[in-house]
Amino acid sequence: MRILITAGPTREYLDDVRYLSNASSGKMGYALAQAALEAGHQVVLVTGPVDLKPPVGCDVRPVVTTEQMREACVAAFPDCDGVIAAAAVCDYKPRQKTSGKMTKTGQPISIELIETDDVLAELGASRGSRWVVGFALEAENARENALQKLRAKNCDAVVLNGPQAIGSETNDVVLLGRQGETLAQWSGGKNGIAQSLITWIGTNLRR
């Protein structure tokens, strides 16, 4: 198969030097890319800014902002069999970016934020015969929120994990299906979880 994988965070700039982002390390997405390559698949890796070396053999498409990630994914998806959306996309951006560098005034400032494009929802809406697996990082009402995400974004399955996964070498995940059922549960190193997920996809979603 040819698999599109998203990894890492995105950044939304307030001015030319400051940005909104999150602490995603990209380790899960990069582990998935490596596992997919080892399983004999082709990989398109759309990656936000991370301090990791991409696995040798994948088609790497670096991006910074959510819009750039959306554009790269929309361009790559038609030539892929499916997508694993492991990136921690920044959900908000400033309505207006300030040119240059904002300076201190000694007074509070207000920044109006608007939602960024929903990359996974757009891929799910245009999936056709392709499969879609999402990631959901949830802190409260975790299972319910993950299932809402799965259905809203037209996924075949969603990988539920918690905030403790950010930057960690290990993870504890539950794979949920369309009917809310637990399809699998894995704990341990991210490399091992990635191998298990790639194997599961190859067995259950390959068309």
Are 37 and 45 spatial neighbours (Cβ–Cβ below 8 Å)?
no
Three-class HEC string of the chain: CEEEEEECECCEECCCCCEECCCCCCHHHHHHHHHHHHCCCEEEEEECCCCCCCCCCCEEEECCCHHHHHHHHHHHHHHCCEEEECCECCCEEECCCCCCCCCCCCCCCCCCEEECCCHHHHHHHCCCCCEEEEEEECCCCHHHHHHHHHHHCCCCEEEEECHHHCCCCEEEEEEEECCCCEEEEEEEEHHHHHHHHHHHHHHHCCC
141 is catalytic: no
Check 22, 145, 154, 204 and give the catalytic one.
22
- Residue 136's identity, in one-letter code, is A
Q: Annotated active-site positions, please?
A: 22
